[in-house]
């Protein structure tokens, strides 16, 4: 019941939509490195398989040593050692590939952000004050992300009074009269 309530809350406040947009953004960057990511996933699966096989080899080795099972102790020990070395090699390769992908993705994101900053038309933005520009961006984002909140604001939420020095905000609405 609590899980359903939390999920409903996440849907209502837009968290799931935001997570979906972020996932799409991340996958757009990962798409460029899908070969390296695929190899990393494959090495992770192989490493897990080798770890499971080494557990089976360890069981066989213990059974041979305790006398529960008869067999060649050297072959069981060799299997165990080979699987452990293979697992360590897989983990090292997976770590190396993960580091390479992380660095390339991070460098790609930084290059794109810096490129956007360098290509911005700063002259056209001079007409806005920094506060005005941020206010416009924040209003647009609030309208896009939480439409129900912005639509719930009405005139009854504000008190209309005379302008004073201690006013926090001053809003004017101007309507053009049609002739």
What pLDDT, in 10s, does the model give residues 25-77? Answer: 888 877 877 887 788 788 888 888 888 888 888 888 888 888 777 677 788 78
pTM for the model stands at: 0.48
Question: What is the signed CA dihedral for 161, 166, 169, 171, rounded to 10 degrees?
Answer: 40
Backbone torsion region of residue 14, taken as left when φ is above 0, otherwise alpha when ψ lies between -120 and 50, otherwise beta: left
pLDDT tens for residues 80-103?
888 888 888 888 888 888 888 788
Task: Let me know how long the chain is.
Answer: 179
| Cα(76)–Cα(64) distance, integer angstroms | 8
Distances (CA, A) of 69 to 50, 61, 66, 81, 84: 23, 9, 8, 19, 22
């Amino acid at each position: 019941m609590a899980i359903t309530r939390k999920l409903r809350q996440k849907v209502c406040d837009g968290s799931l939509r935001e997570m979906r947009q972020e996932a799409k953004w991340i996958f757009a960057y990962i798409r460029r490195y899908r070969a390296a990511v695929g190899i990393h996933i494959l090495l992770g699966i192989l490493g897990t398989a080798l770890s499971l096989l080494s557990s089976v080899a360890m069981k066989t080795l213990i059974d041979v040593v305790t006398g529960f099972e008869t067999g060649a102790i050297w072959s069981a020990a060799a299997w165990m050692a080979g699987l452990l070395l293979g697992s360590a090699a897989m983990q090292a390769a997976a770590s190396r590939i993960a580091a390479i992908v992380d660095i390339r993705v991070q460098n790609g994101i930084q290059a794109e952000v810096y490129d956007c900053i360098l290509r911005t038309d700063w002259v056209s933005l001079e007409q806005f004050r920094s506060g005005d520009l941020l206010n416009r961006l924040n209003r647009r984002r609030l309208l896009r992300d939480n439409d129900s909140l912005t639509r719930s604001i009405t005139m009854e939420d504000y008190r209309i009074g005379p302008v004073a020095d201690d006013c926090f905000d001053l809003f004017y609405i101007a309507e053009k009269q049609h002739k």
